[in-house]
Amino acid sequence: MSRTLTDMPPADPTADSSRAAAALWDIATPARPGRLPGVSMAGFRARTTDPVDLGVVPYPAVTVAVNLGDGPLAAHDADGRRLDDSVAIGLAAGGVRGRGRNIDCLQIRLSPLIAHAVLRGCAESGGTVIPLDDLWGRDAPHTQEQLRAAASWEDRFTIAEAVLARRHDAGPATDPEVAFAWRRMLAHRGGIRVEQLATEVGWSRKRLWSRFRAQIGLTPKRAARLIRFDHAAHRLAAGHPATLVAAETGYADQSHLHRDALTFTGLTPTAVATAPWLAVDDTAWPTPAYLGGI
């Protein structure tokens, strides 16, 4: 289905800037649940011909952006590199900005448990941005051509789902212990110690650390921090004050939340609350991709 974000009353006065940002987009979402758990898709088409510049707020999923427009869709990473066209954005990729004009884009969010198979080699990059061509080779431009030629967003979602399912079936499986640790982190919103997870899966802390990093793309400690921050960021975007969010999401105090916000986004909690990247989440991603299992 396609949704246009206009004329929606803000939840509170502080939501005005986020509402304005959301109104820039026509958003399409699949009419039915996908076959692969841990995968969410949304189509974005800009409602303006003016240049769009968005800072990416890190999220506990790997993001794939497939450019379907006529012009370049540029991703600028924290090191100042510019990558045009379709890219994969790793976990905790702070400092990334997306820029373009007349944007027409398919965005896919993948649980890291799924991304390990679908985007082989992505975990090794950690929190960086990688051209999709580097991960999929000839499959990337062929898939992009198919998606551009599709008659509707539903057709595009069907094509993308088939590609993801094929690559998932052919890709490496995630260790059950790693998958268990990831799900436990989600269940506790990041508030669980690595030592406890290692004990629960019957591994040494060193082995869990190594295998988790190789397959998820982050160390267990940083992954837990990202999950906690994501929960806090969405509470901030919903209009809750930083002091309350810090207390409710397991931070020692507001300054602790402030440090994580700067670490992951380069922004203060106040700026995170009105980040345009978060303004469309309720519409584009009603079910977070990272909650899916395999």
Residue 58 lies in a domain: yes
Tabulate helix, strand, coil % of the chain (nearest 5). Answer: 45, 15, 35
The pLDDT value given to residue 292: 52
Q: How confident is the prediction for the chain on average, in pLDDT?
A: 88
Cα separations in angstroms, 18 against 35, 87, 161, 267: 32, 25, 30, 15
Residue 285 lies in a domain: no
Judge if 44 and 152 occupy the same domain: yes
Judge if 127 and 100 occupy the same domain: yes
Judge if 199 and 111 occupy the same domain: no
Domain stops at, among 119, 147, 172: 172
Judge if 168 and 190 occupy the same domain: no
Structurally, the chain folds into a number of domains equal to 2
Judge if 236 and 139 occupy the same domain: no
**CATH number for position 144:** 2.60.120.10
Question: Sorting pLDDT into bands at 50, 70 and 90, what band is 125?
Answer: low
Judge if 13 and 62 occupy the same domain: yes
Number of alpha carbons in the 13 Å side-chain half-sphere of residue 192: 19
**CATH number for position 240:** 1.10.10.60
Judge if 58 and 204 occupy the same domain: no
Residue 289 lies in a domain: no
Parent domain of 187 = 176-273
Of 1-10, 48-57, 189-198, 258-267, the one with minimum mean pLDDT is 1-10
| pLDDT tens, residue by residue, 128-156 | 889 999 999 999 999 999 999 999 999 99
Number of alpha carbons in the 13 Å side-chain half-sphere of residue 45: 13
Residue 253 lies in a domain: yes
Judge if 235 and 134 occupy the same domain: no
Residue 266 lies in a domain: yes
Q: What is the distance between the alpha carbons of residues 260 and 267, in angstroms, rounded to a whole number?
A: 9
| pLDDT tens, residue by residue, 7-64 | 334 445 445 656 676 688 999 999 988 888 899 999 999 988 888 998 999 999 999 9
Domain stops at, among 148, 172, 196: 172
- For residue 293, pLDDT beyond 60: no
Judge if 155 and 193 occupy the same domain: no
| pLDDT tens, residue by residue, 25-38 | 999 999 988 888 89
Residue 293 lies in a domain: no
Percent of the chain with pLDDT over 90: 67
Beta bridge partners of 82: 76
